[in-house]
Structure formats: C-alpha cells, structure tokens
Amino acid sequence: MKLHINMWLQNLGIACSIASLFTLFFRLSDFAWITKSVYHIPVFFVLLFLLSLVIAEDVRKVFKKLFWYEKRKVQRPIWQVGIGFIFFLAQIGTVMVFYSELTHPQLGGMPLFLVFAFMNAFILTVIYEEIFYRQEKINEANE
C-alpha cells in the first residue's frame, strides 16, 4: 500500500511541476491569453495538470533509466536527489503560478521563495525517506 502511495505522490509532484512550469512559460510569452484564470486558477494549468498526471509515470521511469537507477549498487543518494528535486520544482512552480507576489522579497539578492523552497525540499525529503524508503528496504530484504 505504501509503495502505491509513494508512486502516487511522486507522480503528483511531477505533474504539478510540469503543469506549473509550462503555465509559467506561456504566461511570460506572447501567448499569455492562454493562461486565463477562473477564480484565480489558470484553466491552462488545470488542463496541463490532468494531462501531466497521465504521463507522469512514464516521465518518472524515463528519469530512472536516464540515471541508471536500477543498475546502481547504492540507490539511496539518487533516490534522495530525485525526491528532493520533485519537491523543489513543485514548490517553485506553485509559487510562480499561484502566488507570484511572493517572488519579490529578496535575501541578499536571492529571491526568498527559492531559499524557502530549498529548505522545505530538504525537510520533506528527510520526512519522505523515513516514511517510504525505509519500507522499500524492508520489503527488499524480505524477498
């Protein structure tokens, strides 16, 4: 059960990242009219999010093959980086699309939302690993 929740959460993060980054790209381009909002939610984001949910599993598998995840003796470091990157991109994309006013505060020249996204991604990765990665290792040892 935890394995399915693990993959489901990863796919949600990937879908959110894809949808928010594409929405942001279109919002900054000459095609900004595509990103019209209804109740402050861009319709384009919702459509892309639903489409991204369909392809998120394939995207995750491609990245696993690209970084030779299955062939590594120690998979934990690349797993941590992957989960952290998903959390980081999902937070940045969400802020850029839904809360763009939070992009203005700076911390020594760096946007403050990047600092918070990095710290949150680190903490979420540690929590996520304690919940899911340990269970995967126990399952592998039992098999």
Per-residue pLDDT tens digits of the chain, which is 143 residues long: 666 887 888 889 999 999 999 988 888 778 777 777 777 788 888 899 999 999 998 988 888 888 888 888 877 777 788 888 999 999 998 888 888 888 888 878 888 889 899 999 999 888 888 887 765 555 566 66
pLDDT at 49: 92
DSSP element (H, E) containing 45: helix 43-66
pLDDT at 140: 60
DSSP element (H, E) containing 73: none
pLDDT at 143: 60
Q: Could you say which DSSP state residue 101 is in?
A: G
Provide the whole-model pTM.
Answer: 0.78
The 10 Å CB-count burial string (b at 16+, else e) for 51-80 is ebbeebeebbeeeeeeeeeeeeeebeeebb
Residue with tokens 């969400």: 94
pLDDT at 138: 58
pLDDT at 55: 92
pLDDT at 1: 61
Whole-number Å distance between alpha carbons of 50 and 98: 17
Q: What are the distances in angstroms from CA 12 to CA 3, 77, 89? A: 14, 21, 12
Q: What are the distances in angstroms from CA 35 to CA 25, 98, 112? A: 10, 12, 25
Count CA atoms within 13 Å of residue 92 on its CB side. Answer: 20
